[in-house]
Structure formats: structure tokens, C-alpha cells
Amino acid sequence: MSVALASGTSPDKGRLYLAYGSCDALIIETSRKLSECAIENGAVVTAVEAAQITESSLTSMLQQGSLFDPVNLYLIRRCEAAKNIVKSIACIKQARRSPNSLCFIYFGENPPVPLKSLFVEQNAALIPCYQPWPNEITQVIGYFAQSLKLKLTNDGTQALISANGDDLALNLNELRRLKCIFGDRSRALSANDLAPHLNGMRSDEAAQLERLLLQEQWAKAHALSSQLLNRGERALPILAILTSHIRTTLKLHAAISKGNKTPAGLAQTAQVPPFVIKNYLPLVQRVKNPSSYRAALAECHHADVLLKSRRCHEDLVLASIIDALAMT
């Protein structure tokens, strides 16, 4: 992880890089940092899909028309999807004599041994980007904040992790949003500074609520929604999850009633992504009469008006929807 975080601080001309690993966020941040540093040094950065490169195109990337042409950094993305990448890379033995640099990006735990061996032979800079250990998350988020010229106190960092979990991509996006809010503030941001801006529901909690609804665990779903409200979450995002669940169930139930049996047919008729079918099909097959879901959808419409127009007991409003579902 320390290699990934340190990459891009001093890019060398005519260098080969291989960024790889299981952590997409670190790979993307590594390539961004390399590009940023190359541009600061007057280079031109060009992104290329690995599946489109050939021996001749790689050779041309390493050539410079004249001394007055700018130096180039080529980002060769998605090497894991290129079938002939090893054969193509075998032709770049003259890379160290070229002023241009190539950064190969491989999303995956480990590149194939022949591919990695080629980079070792070429004295390439290998940049492993693996998912950090739990005790390293704060260090990575601190690096992300520093790269955005944003300062966080220890409790500020913990508040960010509590709000978003250990998803690095999500935390990085949140840091960018906070940078837009706070700008170039010199003082480190504490948990109290961040609290008003970290009120979004965590994706794992949203997934947990939907999972409980799919399993018809109504009491646990109500308890989780109450817990989220007590923690300071807004009722409307929770209502959106409930409404989406009910509408999807009704759409798929109607599609099955019309004779659609295959996942592809159900996805097309109900206009939902194919992966949704796998999650929802066991529930839909258990629902003999969708009247309770229609009643719950009517409760959602009523709740939407209540929550947007007047002060009300949010827990009771959401509970009425779950109670309607429990009448299945």
C-alpha cells in the first residue's frame, strides 16, 4: 500500500510502470497522481485501451518525432481484458532509451506470471494496489485528504469512516465533495465540522434494509429504520428504499402473471437490471396476492406528502408502510 501511495511523486522519463491489485480506488488514484505529476513536468498524458494496442502502436508510443516534441505519458488501461498483451509488450525492450513513459493498468489480484516477468526484465516500476488492512484505512484516507489539500483531525477522519465505511472510492468522493464545501480552509476539520455534511446513508446499511425486506423480516426492517432515524438519518432516503422495493416487486409480479418466466424476459418486461431478478425472484414467487404491496405503495405516496409538507412522527410514518407489507 505504501508503494501505491508514494507513486507519482517523482515521475521519470522513459519509464515503464505497472499498477495492479485488488483495490480499484488505489489503482485509479495512482494513475491520476502519475498523470498529474507528468503534466506538471510538461508531459502530455494520453489514455489508451489495452485491447486496442499492437506491437506497432506500442513502438510508435516510444518514439519521439523530434527534440521539440513534448514528452508523453501513456496510460494503457484494462490490461486484464487484452488477450495479446504479453506478445505486444515483448517488443518494447528499447523503452529505457525512449523519453516517453508507459503506465500499464491491471485491475486484478495479480497479473499473470509471464506479464509480470516481462516488466521485471524491463526494470519497470511495479506499483501493487491491494485493499488496505483495517488498521491502514485511516492512513489511506489521510493521504487522500492531503492530496486534495484538505486537513482532517483524528476524530474527523473517524467520523468520515463511520459515515461511509471502509469503501475507499466512496470516501474519496466524499473528500472531494467536502473540498468543494470547505475550500482552502487552513484549520483541520473536526468531527463537529463534518457532521452537518455527512448525513447520507451508508450503502451497506441501505443494502441491509433491502435485504431484510426481501427476506420478509418485517420486525428487523422496522428496527433498522428506527435505528437509522435515531442516528440522524433523514426519513426520505429510507422512504425511497421502501418505495423502490415495493415497485420492483409489483413490476415483477405483474410480469410473471403475464407469462414471463425467463430472467431476461422478466428484466425486459419489468424494466429492471438482470441482477435484480435473481435477488427478487424468490420473494415474488412467494407473493400470492399483491394487494398488500399495492396498499403499501399507497402508504408510500401518503408518506411522501406528509414528510414534505408538515412535521410528523417519521418513525410511525415509515412503520405504517412496513406494517402494510407485513399483511402479505
Query: pLDDT: is 19 or 64 the higher one?
Result: 19
Q: Which of 22-31, 36-45, 93-102 is predicted with the least confidence, judged by mean pLDDT?
A: 93-102
User: What does the pLDDT read at residue 9?
Assistant: 46
User: Worst-scoring range by mean pLDDT, 38-52, 63-77, 108-122, 217-231?
Assistant: 63-77
- Residue ending a domain, choose from 128, 162, 180: 128
Spatial separation of the C-alpha atoms in residues 254 and 257, rounded to whole Å? 5
pTM over 0.75: no
State mean pLDDT over 61-82.
79
- What integer is the mean pLDDT of 198-214? 78
Nine-digit cell at 323? 406494517
What are residue 220's DSSP bridge partners?
Answer: none
Q: b vs e for 302-326, b when ≥16 Cβ sit within 10 Å of the residue's Cβ?
A: ebbebbeeeeeebeebbbebbbbbe
Do 34 and 105 meet the contact criterion of CB atoms below 8 Å apart?
no
Model confidence at 20, pLDDT cuts 50, 70, 90, reads very high
Is pLDDT above 60 for 7? Answer: no
Question: Torsions phi, psi of 183, nearest 5?
Answer: 65, -140
Q: Do 231 and 191 belong to one domain?
A: no
C-alpha distances in Å from residue 80, one per residue of 15, 18, 62: 21, 12, 22
Do 317 and 271 have their domain in common? Answer: yes
Instruction: State residue 93's pLDDT score.
Output: 61
Q: Are 32 and 7 in contact (CB under 8 A)?
A: no
Clarify whether residues 218 and 307 are in a common domain: yes
User: Is the same domain home to 29 and 98?
Assistant: yes
For residue 275, the domain's CATH number is 1.20.272.10
Distances (CA, A) of 185 to 137, 148, 178: 24, 12, 11
Residue 250: closest CA among 235, 271, 219: 271
Does 191 share its domain with 233? no
Residue 217: what pLDDT? Answer: 93
d(CA 302, CA 316): 12
Query: Do 227 and 311 reside in the same domain of the chain?
Result: yes
Q: Above 90 in pLDDT, residue 59?
A: no
| Residues 104, 180 within the same domain | no
Is 119 in the same domain as 158? no
For residue 3, pLDDT over 90 is answered with no
Task: Say yes or no: 182 and 245 in one domain.
Answer: no
| Model confidence pLDDT, tens digit, residues 273-315 | 777 788 898 998 898 889 999 999 999 999 988 888 877 888 9
Contacts of 166 (CB under 8 A, 6+ apart): 134, 137
Q: Read off the CATH number of the domain in which 124 is found.
A: 3.40.50.300
pLDDT band at 186 (very low <50, low <70, confident <90, very high): confident
* 53 vs 219, more confident: 219
Burial of 82 (0-12, 13-18, 19+ CB in 10 A): buried
Rounded alpha-carbon distances, angstroms, from residue 235 to 16, 44, 238, 300, 302: 51, 48, 5, 12, 13
Residues 169 and 207 placed together within one structural domain of the fold: no
Q: Which residue has the higher pLDDT, 66 or 147?
A: 147
Amino acid 307: pLDDT: 85
Average pLDDT over residues 30-45: 87
- Residue 290's domain comprises 203-326
In this structure, are 236 and 311 located in the same domain? yes
Q: What is the pLDDT of residue 95?
A: 47
Q: Is the pLDDT of residue 2 over 60?
A: no
Same domain, 7 and 97: yes
Could you tell me which residues come within 8 angstroms of residue 281 by beta carbon, excluding any fewer than 6 positions away? Answer: 252, 263, 266
Q: Would you state the pLDDT for residue 293?
A: 94
State how many domains the chain has.
Answer: 3
CA atoms within 13 A on the CB side of 160: 31
**What tens digit of pLDDT does each residue of 93-149 get?**
654 567 888 899 998 888 888 888 888 888 888 999 988 888 888 999 988 998 888
Domain of 175: which CATH number? 1.10.8
Domain boundary among 165, 197, 229: 197
CA dist., res. 81 & res. 98, Å (int): 26
Domain boundary among 90, 113, 128: 128
pLDDT in the model for residue 6: 55
The pLDDT score that the predictor gives to residue 13 is: 65
21 - beta bridge partners? 107, 108
Q: Which residues contact 53 (CB under 8 A, 6 or more apart)?
A: 76, 82, 85, 88
DSSP calls for 26-62: HHHHHHHHHHHHHHHTTPEEEEEEGGG--HHHHHHHT
Q: What is the mean pLDDT of the chain?
A: 83
